[in-house]
Amino acid sequence: MIFYSKTKLYKSFHILQHLRNNYTKLKKRFFLSFVRVRLFSLKICCKIQKMWELIREFTIEKIIQNCKTSIMRRNLWELPRFSFRILRRTLPFFIISLFHFCIYPIREAEVLETDVSFLYLNSTEFPQNELEKMNSIWKVRKLRDKGTTAEDKNNLGILFAKNSLLDDAESFWKECMKISESNPVCFSNLIRMYYLIDEYEISKKEISIYLKTAKKEQIQQVKKLLTNQNRKEETILLLDVQSKIPGMEVISWDELSTYFLEKQDYEKAYFYLEKILEINPYHKNARASMVLLAHDLEKWDDLLMFAMNLNSTDDKIPDLNYYIAKAYYEKRNYSEALEWIRKSPESERETLSFIELWKKILLSVNPNSDLHPILTYIKKMQAKGIQIKEEDVLPTLNPSGKKTIEDIKVGR
């Protein structure tokens, strides 16, 4: 039984496999089903627990009652044999009584026990350092009726979760949110537990309830907690649920697109930006982000559509002309690309990417184009301390580079 309390369930499982061989098929099934079961509902687990508590109490009562009868009859010699017979028949119930708390598969038990993202509150009676020293499951179970403050309930909830007493953990965190209305820390711990045991649907349900009852400041605090702890998947869960609340769609999609942009998951970011623009075609951030994304994804037609739309407003973004020129260049419309290069502000010409594009466009329009106008901006960049060599960008400025270009032209 120590094996279970330490979450080393493999050993417990093998012991039960060995023990089951001595009992009926019903008992065999009973042994292993309890260890293997992956409970999809905490409520079902609680019912199973209560059922076996009743069986255990009934069995113990019968043993004591029969023992008393044997003693009263002074048939003490019958007692050992009788006790052994009763014990042999009821051994499965004794073993199960040791396992009558809710359990989850080994992976979840270990993850719960070692997770460092649960947040403690400042509790006088149940401080974090004292609870972390508690390594006896029996002592933990005795705390089920303890705790009066929100801080107590929160910290005990963590203790229960780390010992796989999930129904108790859920109950204590919900009590915490009743005592301290919609407490963000207790809520973040609750959805953390659901996330760790892959109960995403339950998590979404609880998030939906919380978003409808909590204050705006509390919701922002939850998001901040998740961000500070780098709990990105849980943030996505929260934003996904939030996006289904009328009036919160655009805000949620904007945050989701930002998240996926940071992760460089451009396809998903693109998906959410498109959803924003379906509802609000003039959303500044969405249009600007779509230009940048279309560039990275090489969707040149989309880039031109969003960039031209943005160019007709006062919401221009830096290097917009460069992006338009790049799209036209990739579409082999070199004359139009050169036109947008010439329209670019002086301040935006002093970048290596701009100069490289300018050079390519000039040489595409005419292989004998004069590249000296670009030289001015290279010198300005050098004056700012940017490490750039003229011959690296403009090879035709020296005889050797010019010969190389000529050889390329004639196919040598």
Q: How confident is the model at residue 7 (pLDDT cuts 50, 70, 90)?
A: very low
Name every residue whose Cβ is closer than 8 Å to that of residue 200 and which is 6 or more positions away in sequence: 194, 237
CA atoms of 282 and 309, how far apart (whole Å): 9
Q: Which 3 state secondary structure label does DSSP give 22?
A: coil
Give tens-digit pLDDT for 274-331.
999 998 888 888 888 899 999 988 999 999 999 998 888 877 888 999 999 999 999 9
Please give the Cα distance from 64 to 71 (Å, whole number): 11
* 331 phi, psi to nearest 5 deg: -90, 5
Mean pLDDT on 31-53: 43
Average pLDDT over residues 111-140: 90
Q: What is the pLDDT of residue 253?
A: 93
Q: Which CATH architecture has domain 243-317?
A: Alpha Horseshoe (1.25)
Q: Tokens 């989701």 map to which residue?
A: 256
Architecture of domain 106-229 in this structure:
Alpha Horseshoe (1.25)
Which band of pLDDT confidence, cut at 50, 70 and 90, is reported for residue 137? confident
Domain ranges for the chain: 2-103, 106-229, 243-317, 333-412
Long-range contacts of 178-183 (CB under 8 A, 24+ apart): 179/149, 179/150, 179/153, 180/150, 182/210, 182/213, 182/214, 182/215, 182/218, 183/150, 183/154, 183/218
**Sorting pLDDT into bands at 50, 70 and 90, what band is 338?**
very high
Contacts for 391 with CB less than 8 Å, ≥ 6 apart? 397, 398, 401
The number of helices, as runs of H, and strands, as runs of E, in the chain is: 24, 0
306: Cβ–Cβ under 8 A, 6 or more apart, which residues?
287, 290, 291, 294
Q: Would you say 283 and 277 are in contact if contact means Cβ atoms under 8 Å apart?
A: yes
Q: Where are the alpha helices (DSSP H) in 331-398?
A: 334-343, 352-365, 372-383, 390-393
Task: Give the Cα separation of 20 and 269 in Å (integer).
Answer: 54
Whole-angstrom Cα distance, residue 404 to residue 306? 39
Q: State how far the Cα of 366 lies from the Cα of 334, in Å rounded to an integer.
A: 10
Angle between helices 184-196 and 166-179 (to 10 degrees): 160
Please give the model's pTM, rounded to 2 decimal places.
0.59
Q: Kindly report, residue by residue over 58-69, the tens digit of the pLDDT.
A: 555 555 555 544
pLDDT at 161: 92
HEC string of 37-66 equals CCCCCHHHHHHHHHHHHHHHHHHHHHHHHH
Q: What is the pLDDT of residue 93?
A: 54
Task: Please state which of the ranges 6-20, 25-39, 136-150, 291-305 shows the lowest mean pLDDT.
Answer: 25-39
Find the range with the poorest average confidence among 97-101, 137-141, 144-148, 324-328.
97-101
Q: Decide if 106-229 and 243-317 have a common fold.
A: yes
Task: Indicate the range of 18-27, 30-39, 230-239, 386-395 predicted with least confidence.
Answer: 30-39
pLDDT, position 160: 93
Q: Write the CA distances from 347 to 37, 41, 267, 317, integer angstroms.
A: 66, 62, 32, 13
The model's confidence at residue 96, banded by pLDDT at 50, 70 and 90, is low
Highest-pLDDT range among 59-63, 249-253, 371-375: 249-253
Max CA separation in the chain (angstroms): 121
Give mean pLDDT, residues 331-356: 91
Q: What percent of the chain has pLDDT over 70?
A: 69
Query: Binning pLDDT at 50, 70 and 90, where does residue 33 land?
Result: very low
Structure tokens at 80: 């050992």
CA distance 173 to 399: 77
Over residues 147-201, the pLDDT tens digits come to 899 999 999 999 999 998 999 999 999 999 999 988 999 999 999 999 999 899 9
Q: How does the average pLDDT of the chain come out, rounded?
A: 77
